Structure 1
Amino acid sequence: MPRRSGSLGIAAAAAALAIGASLLTAAGPAGAAPAKETPQLSREDRWLVDQHGRIVLVHGQNLVWKHDPYVPPDSPEGFTAADAEWLAEHGFNGARIGTLWAGVTPDAPGEVDEGYLDDWQRVIDLLADEGIWMQYDFHQDMWHETYGGEGVPDWAAKRPAPYNLHPPIKLSFPATYITPELATVYDNFWANKFGVQDGWAAAWGAVAQRWGDQPYSMGYDLINEPWAGREWLTCPITGCASSYRHEFQPAYEKATAAIRASDPDGIVWYESQLLANQVPNSRFGPVNDDQAGYSWHSYCPFGYLDSQGIPIGVGGCKDYDETHHRTALEQAETMGATNLMSEFGATDNTELLAIDTAAADDHFTSWMHWAYKHWDDPTTADGRQGMFADDADLSTVKAEKLRTLVRTYPQATAGTPVDLSFDPETGEFSYTYDPSAAIDEPTEIFVSPIHYPSGPDISVEGGRVVGEADHHRILVEATGTGPVTVTID
């Protein structure tokens, strides 16, 4: 049972409000969304909101099994009920799950493998039972196994002439992207050559038909890290503006139309091209859909160099992260979308992970860490991935990595966030929000089970703790109309 102390104090609360004032002004107040029976996330202004209208922050993990049959097995090294419980117990309330196109329609366009969807349904049910929000992800890396990657079905991976006259080039990830053949493959997809893009959109329609009403859905990530094709050389300079305008966005609109035939309300996530992970210059225009999301990745190049044994340090990632978060918010605003950092990490460097997660707190950004388990990932530039030394043994968790990623944070806020901070070294947590009288449900704050060896000391100014929920959550309600500040140490 957590220990509770008295008021935080008016001066401290005022200081916290001053720190967050500029963010609040930019974000604007959040009203209550209409109540829905099924727990699903939707977009309201810049925020993710739940069925009660509360603003949700997601701290999640990527679950992408990149080998045939493209779904984790029901075994300790794969994904079981123990894994779902472990995620919830450690505050991971989200999962980006690799429901790959190669599994949905493996044999021909429009021929859906219902058995594949059933295999994922097992995992989805386990996650939903623990109240974990799920984003369906058509994950791909370097298109297909032909090029050393994965993601698309065999029928969508016919090699183009004249490259099919000699064996394909396979380089280490991500180098194959820059080969002329693979660039041509992506150009053909964006041009809908042989109707491949139509088949991709139809596969999304099948996913939406199966999971449009699924509890704890947070929508559809249309394609992981798309490649601009032969125009890629211009991306660091121009941001591939022409590719976004004439290729990416029209294709995403086509997939959205297929999804909307079955699911009128689920968030459709537009993902930026691969090089935007390093150069934040995405160029999506306004989206003609009020449930749009901007899915983006953050991989600081200093972190990659560090992983390759080049000792330059990762301190420069602070400026990198600030730039990426700011431009992500700007891109989402242009689109009329919410935003999600759907990948970051891919390293055991806890200094870098602390920088990434602190930047996310500063900007109230939801995130999905790469990755929950290594799962023999064939497309990685840094081999040190996953939360465990042994995927089959949860007791082999990497302790310092866990301490950095498991954070005390507000999972659902009955109002508008103002200021948020957490220190993974000390466990010191502070959160200020403006309450909404239109929301009846309490604010839910996850309290890390590993940072308070003597139990958490909880202080609330402008509100009170009214109860507890499973998975280490406290419930907070405002006692007035003014800001609520919660501190825990």
Structure 2
Amino acid sequence: MPAERRGTTRRPRLGRRLAAAAVAAVAIGSAGAAPASATGPTLPLGSHGRWITDAEGRVFVTHGQNRVDKRPPYAPDGAGFDEADAAFLAAEGYNSVRLGVIWTAVEPQPGRYDDAYLARIERTVDLLHRHGIVSVLDFHQDMVNERYQGQGFPDWAAIDDGGLNLHFGFPNNQFLNPALLQAYDSFWSNRAGPGGVGLQDRYADAWRHVAARFRAVPGVAGYDLINEPWPGSTFLRCIGPSGCVAEDAQLHAFTQRVSRRIRTVDPRTPIWFEPYSTFNSVADTTMPPIGEPRAVLSFHAYCTAEGVTLAYDPSCEASDRTVFDRAERRSALDHVPAVLSEFGATNDLRTLDRIVRLADERMVGWQHWAYTGHDPTTQASGDAQSIVLDDHRPPTGDNVVGRKLEVLSRPYPQVVAGTPRGWSYERDARTFRAGWATARVGGGTFPAYARSEIAIPRRQYPAGYGVRALGAAVVSPPGAPVLELATCPGAGSVSVTVTRGGPSTGSCALPAPAPA
């Protein structure tokens, strides 16, 4: 990117979503649909306590999708992701993408980085940003490397000492493949690799190289350090009730090492960290506090019972609540926000509905897995993960899984000038409710008429909607894809109800503009 584009500022507003109106209209089944037009958060994003915040101190909540390409060239544009896809995501109300960045593509040879690959990733970040969507760069791995039926690490970074390489598929190799377990052990011990340099040191240097490139790229909302880390040969200790203190200390040291390396070139982009993937289903973590003030807990929710049967299981309601409980405790320990950065990988609507309702109840943002399928490391079959079946075709008609979008594309408060108190959506009744205190998180106040935004996907309200706002003025036009509210002077709280049809009313009105 030319120097004049990269610059030093990170405070632009997300531009108006330049959705391709025809594509978006067909995608949501409404011939008269207009592209989204909200300004979104003011960048850069930061955090305060459990909340992600924008540069104005407003709370930012995300509903997003995962887009990770696990086969060469490991970049979305290589599989057909383009303007129509970004427009489609914006029209469906999504404001973030967890975007895969694959280590083997970043550093195909030790110490040699492929900047042409990173330029491709940057073009996708720019494309999404133009449509009001922020990107979390995700160093994604599953089972280390292709030789273990996985992906992520370069061949030279998979050191297994010639162990027995048994193939049982994903995720079974994590339990049954001795060579894979040794490769994990080599990585967690920072074993010396090519040139006598530790594997984690190479990994941290690769992250530093990526952060140096993206630190001034508008639209980058975070760095997810490693996807679903697995503890290696001692994994059974991490499944047991007493936890795995030594292994968690090892993961903590890795997180510290990579974070420090990133911070040498980028002091402010939030760092997203993950516990071992056992956290996402069966066991808590004993990791010490991260100690990084600009961080986000990135956790996943995949119920073991449904992972085994690949079908809905009512026992998973309790299991998922336990995962969210763990995330809340960990969020409080580190004084950082938590985001559900993966869930889904299924066509079962009851499973998806359970998770998004629980996330609303806990006021947690999320990113669904996944935008499209063709995933070599998954238990789901075929395109069971997808909301779009084929990237090489426009996201319209029978290429879109509309029944899943009916569950996932739902109203939510994406920017809040205040401290959220709760929100919910009754899909059968098409009724959304939200409320917040007008006090700024962490203390202080907003000026009168501070703006908040609620994403209202037209898929849920194809004939328009009515609004009843207490403590705020309704600013956006009728039927807008983003409901904009302005806090009334002196209001201590705001509550809003959105229903199918009817008038829109607020407690005040914006003052008339001063004469020219």
Asked if 1:244 is matched to 2:248, the reply is yes
Asked if 1:427 is matched to 2:430, the reply is yes
Deviation at 1:471, TM superposition (A): 7.4
Q: Could you tell me which residue of structure 2 aligns to residue 405 of structure 1?
A: 408
Per the alignment, in what secondary structure is the counterpart of residue 474 of structure 2? strand
Per the alignment, in what secondary structure is the counterpart of residue 235 of structure 1? helix
| Worse-superposed segment, 445-454 or 222-231 | 445-454
Q: Could you tell me which residue of structure 2 aligns to residue 133 of structure 1?
A: 134
Asked if 1:463 is matched to 2:467, the reply is no
User: Aligned runs of 1:70-469 on 2, under 5 Å?
Assistant: 70-73=74-77, 77-108=79-110, 110-161=111-162, 163=163, 168-178=165-175, 179-194=177-192, 195-237=198-240, 238-245=242-249, 247-307=250-310, 313-374=312-373, 376-383=374-381, 384-393=384-393, 394-395=395-396, 396-436=399-439, 437-438=445-446, 441-467=450-476
Deviation at 1:172, TM superposition (A): 1.2
C-alpha distance in structure 2 between counterparts of 1:280 and 1:422, whole Å: 30
Deviation at 1:244, TM superposition (A): 1.0
C-alpha distance in structure 2 between counterparts of 1:64 and 1:371, whole Å: 8
Supply the AA of the counterpart residue of 1:337.
V
Supply the AA of the counterpart residue of 1:321.
D
Q: Could you tell me which residue of structure 2 aligns to residue 62 of structure 1?
A: 66
Task: Say which structure is richer in helix.
Answer: 1
C-alpha distance in structure 1 between counterparts of 2:101 and 2:364, whole Å: 24
Per the alignment, in what secondary structure is the counterpart of residue 475 of structure 2? strand
Per the alignment, in what secondary structure is the counterpart of residue 229 of structure 1? coil
Q: Could you tell me which residue of structure 2 aligns to residue 45 of structure 1?
A: 49
Task: Give the 3 Å change call, closer, same or farther, for CA 401–189 of structure 1 in structure 2.
Answer: same
Deviation at 1:324, TM superposition (A): 1.3
User: Aligned runs of 1:6-25 on 2, under 5 Å?
Assistant: none
Q: Contact 1:283/1:331 (CA < 8 Å) preserved in 2?
A: no
1:231-281: CA deviations, max 9, x gaps?
A: 101112133222111x10111111001110111011111111122221140
Per the alignment, in what secondary structure is the counterpart of residue 467 of structure 1? coil
C-alpha distance in structure 2 between counterparts of 1:68 and 1:169, whole Å: 24
> Which contiguous aligned blocks of 4+ residues in structure 1 show a shift greater than 6 angstroms?
none
Task: Give the 3 Å change call, closer, same or farther, for CA 62–470 of structure 1 in structure 2.
Answer: farther
Q: Contact 2:300/2:343 (CA < 8 Å) preserved in 1?
A: yes
Give 5+ residue unaligned stretches, structure 1: 1-36
Deviation at 1:466, TM superposition (A): 1.7
C-alpha distance in structure 2 between counterparts of 1:422 and 1:116, whole Å: 41
1:89-139: CA deviations, max 9, x gaps?
A: 10110100001111111111x321100101111111101111212111110
Supply the AA of the counterpart residue of 2:227.
N
Q: Contact 2:125/2:134 (CA < 8 Å) preserved in 1?
A: no
1:341-374: CA deviations, max 9, x gaps?
A: 1100010111111110000001111111000011
Deviation at 1:187, TM superposition (A): 1.2
Supply the AA of the counterpart residue of 2:62.
V
Task: Give the 3 Å change call, closer, same or farther, for CA 290–208 of structure 1 in structure 2.
Answer: same
Q: What percent identity do the matched residue pairs reach?
A: 35
Q: Contact 1:268/1:293 (CA < 8 Å) preserved in 2?
A: yes
Per the alignment, in what secondary structure is the counterpart of residue 116 of structure 2? helix
Q: Contact 1:94/1:134 (CA < 8 Å) preserved in 2?
A: yes
Task: Give the 3 Å change call, closer, same or farther, for CA 445–38 of structure 1 in structure 2.
Answer: closer
Per the alignment, in what secondary structure is the counterpart of residue 236 of structure 2? helix
Q: Could you tell me which residue of structure 1 aligns to residue 38 of structure 2?
A: none
C-alpha distance in structure 1 between counterparts of 2:307 and 2:127, whole Å: 34
Q: Contact 1:426/1:451 (CA < 8 Å) preserved in 2?
A: no
Q: Could you tell me which residue of structure 2 aligns to residue 10 of structure 1?
A: none
Q: Contact 2:464/2:479 (CA < 8 Å) preserved in 1?
A: no
C-alpha distance in structure 2 between counterparts of 1:65 and 1:187, whole Å: 26
C-alpha distance in structure 2 between counterparts of 1:88 and 1:283, whole Å: 38
Q: Contact 1:469/1:475 (CA < 8 Å) preserved in 2?
A: no
C-alpha distance in structure 1 between counterparts of 2:170 and 2:478, whole Å: 43
C-alpha distance in structure 2 between counterparts of 1:449 and 1:117, whole Å: 34
TM-score by length of 1: 0.86
Deviation at 1:284, TM superposition (A): 2.1
C-alpha distance in structure 1 between counterparts of 2:209 and 2:150, whole Å: 24
Task: Give the 3 Å change call, closer, same or farther, for CA 349–45 of structure 1 in structure 2.
Answer: same
Supply the AA of the counterpart residue of 2:494.
V
Supply the AA of the counterpart residue of 1:472.
P
Per the alignment, in what secondary structure is the counterpart of residue 294 of structure 1? strand
C-alpha distance in structure 1 between counterparts of 2:138 and 2:128, whole Å: 15
Supply the AA of the counterpart residue of 2:337.
T
1:5-31: CA deviations, max 9, x gaps?
A: xxxxxxxxxxxxxxxxxxxxxxxxxxx
Deviation at 1:473, TM superposition (A): 0.6
Supply the AA of the counterpart residue of 1:55.
V
Per the alignment, in what secondary structure is the counterpart of residue 372 of structure 2? coil
Task: Give the 3 Å change call, closer, same or farther, for CA 470–115 of structure 1 in structure 2.
Answer: farther
Per the alignment, in what secondary structure is the counterpart of residue 136 of structure 1? strand
Per the alignment, in what secondary structure is the counterpart of residue 234 of structure 2? helix
The CA RMSD measured in Å over matched residues stands at 1.8
C-alpha distance in structure 2 between counterparts of 1:284 and 1:223, whole Å: 15
Structure with more relative contact order (C-alpha pairs < 8 Å, separation 6 or more): 1
| Worse-superposed segment, 214-223 or 413-422 | 214-223
Q: Contact 1:95/1:368 (CA < 8 Å) preserved in 2?
A: yes
Task: Give the 3 Å change call, closer, same or farther, for CA 80–469 of structure 1 in structure 2.
Answer: farther
Per the alignment, in what secondary structure is the counterpart of residue 278 of structure 2? helix
C-alpha distance in structure 2 between counterparts of 1:97 and 1:132, whole Å: 11
Q: Contact 1:228/1:240 (CA < 8 Å) preserved in 2?
A: no
Task: Give the 3 Å change call, closer, same or farther, for CA 82–338 of structure 1 in structure 2.
Answer: same
C-alpha distance in structure 2 between counterparts of 1:281 and 1:244, whole Å: 10
Supply the AA of the counterpart residue of 2:254.
A
Q: Contact 1:296/1:342 (CA < 8 Å) preserved in 2?
A: yes
